[in-house]
Amino acid sequence: METDFFLNAMAIGFAIAAPVGAIGALCVRRTLQGGFASGLAVGLGAALADASYGAVAAFGLSALTDFLVYWHETLKISGGLVLILLGVRTLLVVGDFGPERQAPQVRLGGLAGDVATTFVLTLANPTTILFFIAIFAGLGLMQAGGETGQALAIVAGVFSGSFAWWLILAGGLSAVRKRIPDAALPWINRFAGALLIGFGAAAITN
């Protein structure tokens, strides 16, 4: 029974992570700058946040859900401001983006900083919890609320599905990274920075 919950939740985690967004843009620029490990660290932070929201829905933590919904606007604006800051700092990066040399890093404390940054940014979008609740209810997964084993299977499935997407994205970008002309990398970096600013502005104004 837990296997069914795990597989369904894994598909949900993959589907929620896959659409292009601010974290995707951040993963792209980090992978092109720092390589596979840097991009995957971004994805790990997002997957952990998705799993956290999945846990809130799976375990039926209504008090925490109400808290997140109540502070939705504050969290969304805070996340938007951070995205804009990251985007501006990205646009200001100059240096050699060649495959053998990295540009100055827009990061806080190495790989752990990448994980923490994207974890917080993903949590700053509390509407994710509403998606999980709606999807879980539609697929009949909310019945796991009182079963710890089933709820844990859901959390593990969400994390696995989300992390699988970031593994594919970072791995694919890493594979083609050295084939991208050096002259194109700064422009890709600027484009990613502009996307981050755009996503941040959208988070604040929507």
Mean pLDDT by 10 residues, the chain (206 residues): 83 85 86 88 94 82 65 76 81 55 52 89 76 70 64 90 95 86 76 83 81
Q: What is the DSSP letter of 105?
A: P
How much is the pLDDT for 68? 64
Alpha-carbon distance 108 to 115, whole Å?
10
From 68, 76, 61, 72, select the one nearest 22 (Cα to Cα).
Answer: 76
Phi, psi of 111 (to 5 degrees): -60, -40
Element housing 119 (H / E): helix 110-123
pLDDT at 103: 46
- Crossing angle, helix 22-34 and helix 148-176, to 10 degrees? 50
Contact 77, 204 (CB under 8 A): yes
**Could you give the count of Cα atoms lying within 13 Å of 28 in the half-sphere of its Cβ?**
21
pLDDT at 188: 77
pLDDT score for 61: 64
Closest CA to 46 of 163, 169, 173: 163
DSSP string for residues in 43-98: HHHHHHHHHHHHHHHHTT-HHHHHHHHHTHHHHHHHHHHHHHHHHHHHHT--S---
Spatial separation of the C-alpha atoms in residues 67 and 148, rounded to whole Å:
23
